[in-house]
Amino acid sequence: MATNMSSVKSGAAGAATFADSDSRKFRYFEPRGRRATHYEDVTVDVQPDPERYLMQDWIISFPDGKGAYVKEWTAAKSSNWHAFRAPDQEWERTHYQRQSTIEGMIQNVVQNARRAGAPARFDKAWVKVLQTHLGAWKHAEFGLGTSLMQAQRYGYTQMINNAILTNSSYKLRFAQDITLYLAEIGIDIEGFDDSAGKTAWLESPIWQPTRKAIETIMGATDPLEQYFATNIVFEPLVGELFRSGFIMQVASSNRDFVTPAVVSAAEADYERNLANTVDLFHLLCHDDEHGQANQQVCEGWLAKHVPLGRDAGQHLQPIWSEPRAKPVPFTDAQAHAQDRLAAIAGELGLNLPKE
């Protein structure tokens, strides 16, 4: 302490007692629980709004007069947009820790498998499945990632946008994980066609309904519709169907213990993203003022995206017949996907469109 103006010889907490010398918590927001979590402290109110606390309003507007963030960018309404807290409580440190752990896990698994010569022992029919269908799937993950990257600009609070941002980050990471994984095992497998996946994605009748479902999400202009359609509709109907219902259950029977480890990361990602999405839409669908209207909005989104998801899932059926070993029938996986969707919709109190 060098300044001659100060009355105390230390800048440390507790060096003096005076008004608010013990005010050591952020006191401008209500924590969701009894005490603010670390996530809340570093997240809440960083994106302000004229109700909290922009006294001078937004100070730059778009040509139509709208400010930096407006409620009308989504059809959903809320009596308190600021109530949402992401259940995964993700902030930068936890995000990097988790993403980095996943990357480390995948690289260890793939390196060790390659060192042991595992890819060369994959069943030949299974190799075709990987290069074509897992190769096509990476584009679906990428499409969702870019769509969510777009959506994270538009939400009304920091909590909503950051949850969408981390979701986008997980999707884009996984799209790259698959890309690099296939490229690496391709080195060890003679005749592996790394371009087959994109060709299937763009041309195969099996994948066109999935591409259509993804492009419909990408083309939506309502950010919460994009978030809803991704996690409430597409993921259970198509994402989990393909990842858990097919890859993770069928791979080992075809002498592949590697791919399920790579894909399992995305399933864990989805559990967290689903929890965040359900929590947000539960709040909206049970909002005292706007709950009913929001249920109608969500059911409108279900009516738009569920048929696309069902169609996409149905068209994937031939894939289940391609491997040599077929331990699970498509119908079981599809039934599981339908149950999962029904359970999620039930959690939100939403009615699904009839098949």
**97 forms bridges with which residues in the sheet?**
none
Site for another protein (CB under 8 A): which residue of 33, 34, 59, 321?
A: 59
Hey, what are 187's tokens?
């080195």
Site for another protein (CB under 8 A): which residue of 120, 125, 202, 303?
A: 202
Whether 124 contacts 198, CB under 8 Å: no
Cα 252 to Cα 246: distance, rounded to the nearest angstrom: 11
Nearest approach in angstroms of CB 94 to another protein is: 10
For another protein, the binding residues in 265-284 under the rule CB under 8 A are none
Angle at 137 between CA 134 and CA 142, to 5 degrees: 135
3-state secondary structure of 343: helix
- Looking at the Cβ atoms of 201 and 320, the one nearer to another protein is 201
For another protein, the binding residues in 66-95 under the rule CB under 8 A are 67-68, 91-93, 95
- Looking at the Cβ atoms of 98 and 340, the one nearer to another protein is 98
For another protein, the binding residues in 130-169 under the rule CB under 8 A are 138-139, 142, 145-146, 149-154, 158, 161-162, 165-166, 168-169
Nearest approach in angstroms of CB 268 to another protein is: 15
Nearest approach in angstroms of CB 294 to another protein is: 22
- Looking at the Cβ atoms of 24 and 35, the one nearer to another protein is 24
Nearest approach in angstroms of CB 241 to another protein is: 20
- Looking at the Cβ atoms of 216 and 295, the one nearer to another protein is 216
Residues 6+ apart with CB under 8 A from 4: none
Site for another protein (CB under 8 A): which residue of 32, 52, 77, 286?
A: 52
Hey, what are 82's tokens?
């600021």
Site for another protein (CB under 8 A): which residue of 125, 187, 325, 342?
A: 187
Nearest approach in angstroms of CB 110 to another protein is: 10
Look up tokens 């198509």; give the residue.
238
- Looking at the Cβ atoms of 1 and 343, the one nearer to another protein is 1
Q: How many CB atoms lie within 10 A of CB 6?
A: 11
Cα 140 to Cα 210: distance, rounded to the nearest angstrom: 8
Residues 6+ apart with CB under 8 A from 223: 73, 74, 150, 151, 152, 153, 154, 155, 164
Site for another protein (CB under 8 A): which residue of 131, 132, 157, 216?
A: 216
- Looking at the Cβ atoms of 34 and 59, the one nearer to another protein is 59
- Looking at the Cβ atoms of 125 and 183, the one nearer to another protein is 183
Secondary element (H or E) of residue 160: helix 158-188
Backbone angles phi, psi at 134, to 5 degrees: -65, -35
- Looking at the Cβ atoms of 155 and 291, the one nearer to another protein is 155
Nearest approach in angstroms of CB 188 to another protein is: 8
Nearest approach in angstroms of CB 329 to another protein is: 29
Look up tokens 């738009």; give the residue.
304
Cα 207 to Cα 331: distance, rounded to the nearest angstrom: 18
For another protein, the binding residues in 27-46 under the rule CB under 8 A are 27-29, 38, 41-46
Site for another protein (CB under 8 A): which residue of 34, 35, 57, 72?
A: 57
Cα 289 to Cα 292: distance, rounded to the nearest angstrom: 8
From the list 98, 94, 137, the residue with the least C-alpha distance to 235 is 137
- Looking at the Cβ atoms of 61 and 292, the one nearer to another protein is 61
Q: What is the dihedral of CA 321, 322, 324, 328, to 10 degrees?
A: -40
Site for another protein (CB under 8 A): which residue of 16, 120, 268, 303?
A: 16
Give alpha helix (H) positions in 286-329.
291-315
- Looking at the Cβ atoms of 3 and 321, the one nearer to another protein is 3
For another protein, the binding residues in 277-336 under the rule CB under 8 A are none
- If one asks whether residue 219 binds another protein (CB under 8 A), the answer comes out as yes
